[in-house]
Every structure is written in structure tokens, then in C-alpha cells.
């Protein structure tokens, strides 16, 4: 008797097509973002709030069957604090007041909340994700009651696996582009584990162990696709990339122009020298 594929395998299969589109989009934007330190910082900022939200959910519902396994390794997989360190390096100490998430990022966070939870907020404080300021985190009282916590699992799976897998390559590109000092600028890719591969397997095991029926599985696979759609919208929302592309093109046009001018100047002088009559004859 054949055993059905694991849930994480089905998530991967369901998102194969849109994952390919996402990879191309990310690679295109990343090439441009790596031209400028602040632009790359703003790219990181886009996903910072998503990781904050996911980690808040895991901590709030650590005893729920959907998150108990992931909560056991939350110290190993959590990214929000590490991304915050990188944002300080790329955008400055006041990044959380100077920069705001794009509309696509806000929509992403709202979607995760509205689809999977009901939020009750103390009237004394602004809602956590509408303040978008880290210093308010300790002052905000948020009581989250998930309607179906299991539906958040695809976001946890895809977002943390992306950091563990694709993050290795991106880390090398960032390091080569900005050469940050030791311990700075690359924290979002730093996992305090002996093996990223082993941690990936642990994440998969935790998610595959979550009990679910056939109807829930269909919803999980649908949310997997939605996760990539929302990610793509966030990536597309990074503004300023067009200006950097134009600057890049102009820069290389100037460089190529200087090379051609130097070549033609040298060639012209060399050609004129060859044409001059030789007034010295050997006897």
C-alpha cells in the first residue's frame, strides 16, 4: 500500500510553478538592491514585519498542536531580531521611525491576521501592526485568538525554509557586494546551529507531525500558493529599483564611453605617426 506524500512535500509540489516565478522576480530585484546599501536595507525591511508576525503567532500559541513542534525550535529559527540588527547596519539606528513598510507588506500582515485570527486590542494602545514601531511592542496589549491556527503553517514553512536554503547563496552575494564588518549586515542569515540542513529537516518533521484532515490539507496547499503570491507582491513593491537600474546603465555607458574615447585617441595618434614621412635615410 502506497503511503501518501508528506505534507511539506505536497506544499512544495503545489507551489512549484509560482516558486519559479518568485525566484526570477527575487533574483531580478536582488541584483538591483545589491547596488546600494540602503536599498538592500529597505528590501530587508519589507519582510521584517512578516517574520515578527509569524513569531508572535508561534509564541502566543505555543501550546496549540499546530505550533508546539515549531515552538520547541523557535530560538533556532526566529529571524525578526536578527533582521532588526541588519536593518540598523544598513538603514541606521533610527530605521524603525525613518522607514515604513510598503502597502504590500501591510496587506500581507493584515491578510495573515484577518484570514487566520481574530484580534482584540486594548483600547489604551494602538494596534501592533499599525504602529510599525518596535519601541511600542512592549506597550501594546494584543490578545490573539486563532480561528484555525493550522493555516499559518505554510507561511512558517516557506518563509523559514527560504532563509535556510536560498539564504546561503544570498548571503554570499550580500557579503561580496557590501563587505560588512564581522558580525554585522549578515545576521538574518545566521542560524545558531551546527547544520542548516539538519534544522530544515527538523522544521519539516514538526510540520508533518501536525494532525490535519483532507479538507484542512486542501486549505494548507491553497495558503502555500497565497504565501508566494503575497511574497511576490512585497518584492514588487520595492520602489527605487528603476532609478538604480538607470544609474547602473548610465555608469556603464560612461565607462564604456571613456574606454572607447581612449581607444580612438590612441588609435588616431598611432595612425598619424604611421603616416608621417620618414626624413632619416640610411646611407
Residue 149 contacts residue 64 (beta carbons within 8 Å) = yes
Residue 157 annotated as binding site: yes
Cβ–Cβ contacts within 10 Å for residue 72, how many? 12
Q: Is 160 annotated as a binding residue?
A: no
Q: How many Cβ atoms sit within 10 Å of the Cβ of residue 167?
A: 20
Question: CB neighbours (10 Å) of residue 103?
Answer: 11
CB-based burial, 176-211: b 16+ in 10 Å, e otherwise: ebbebeeeebbbbbebeeeeeeebbebbbebbbebe
Element housing 118 (H / E): strand 117-121
**Cβ count near 245 (within 10 Å):** 14
Distance CA 231, CA 199 (A): 23
Which ranges of 103-240 does DSSP label H, i.e. alpha helix?
A: 103-116, 128-131, 153-164, 166-178, 196-208, 214-236
| 108 within 8 A of 234, measured Cβ to Cβ | yes
The answer to whether the annotation marks 281 as part of a ligand binding site is no
User: Cell match 502506497: residue?
Assistant: 2
Binding residues: 12, 19, 157
Binding residues for heme b: 12, 19, 157
Amino acid at each position: 500500500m502506497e503511503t501518501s506524500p508528506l505534507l511539506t512535500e505536497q506544499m512544495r509540489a503545489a507551489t512549484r510553478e509560482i516558486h519559479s516565478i518568485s525566484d526570477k522576480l527575487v533574483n531580478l530585484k536582488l541584483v538591483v538592491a545589491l547596488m546600494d546599501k540602503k536599498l538592500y536595507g529597505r528590501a530587508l525591511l519589507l519582510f521584517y514585519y512578516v517574520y515578527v508576525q509569524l513569531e508572535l503567532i508561534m509564541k502566543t500559541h505555543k501550546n496549540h498542536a499546530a505550533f508546539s513542534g515549531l515552538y520547541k525550535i523557535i530560538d533556532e529559527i526566529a529571524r525578526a531580531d536578527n533582521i532588526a540588527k541588519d536593518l540598523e547596519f544598513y538603514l541606521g539606528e533610527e530605521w524603525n521611525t525613518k522607514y515604513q513598510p510598503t502597502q504590500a507588506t501591510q496587506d500581507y500582515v493584515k491578510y495573515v491576521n484577518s484570514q487566520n485570527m481574530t484580534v482584540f486590542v486594548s483600547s489604551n494602545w494602538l494596534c501592533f501592526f499599525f504602529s510599525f514601531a518596535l519601541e511600542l511592542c512592549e506597550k501594546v496589549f494584543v490578545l490573539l485568538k486563532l480561528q484555525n491556527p493550522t493555516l499559518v503553517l505554510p507561511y512558517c514553512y516557506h518563509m523559514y525554509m527560504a532563509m535556510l536554503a536560498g539564504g546561503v547563496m544570498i548571503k554570499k552575494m550580500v557579503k561580496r557586494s557590501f563587505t560588512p564588518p564581522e558580525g554585522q549586515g549578515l545576521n538574518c542569515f545566521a542560524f545558531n546551529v551546527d547544520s542548516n540542513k539538519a534544522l530544515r529537516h527538523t522544521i519539516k518533521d514538526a510540520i508533518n507531525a501536525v494532525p490535519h484532515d483532507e479538507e484542512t490539507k486542501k486549505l494548507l496547499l491553497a495558503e502555500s500558493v497565497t504565501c508566494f503570491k503575497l511574497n511576490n507582491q512585497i518584492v514588487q513593491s520595492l520602489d527605487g529599483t528603476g532609478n538604480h537600474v538607470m544609474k547602473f546603465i548610465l555608469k556603464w555607458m560612461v565607462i564604456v564611453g571613456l574606454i572607447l574615447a581612449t581607444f580612438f585617441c590612441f588609435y588616431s595618434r598611432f595612425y598619424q605617426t604611421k603616416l608621417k614621412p620618414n626624413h632619416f635615410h640610411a646611407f
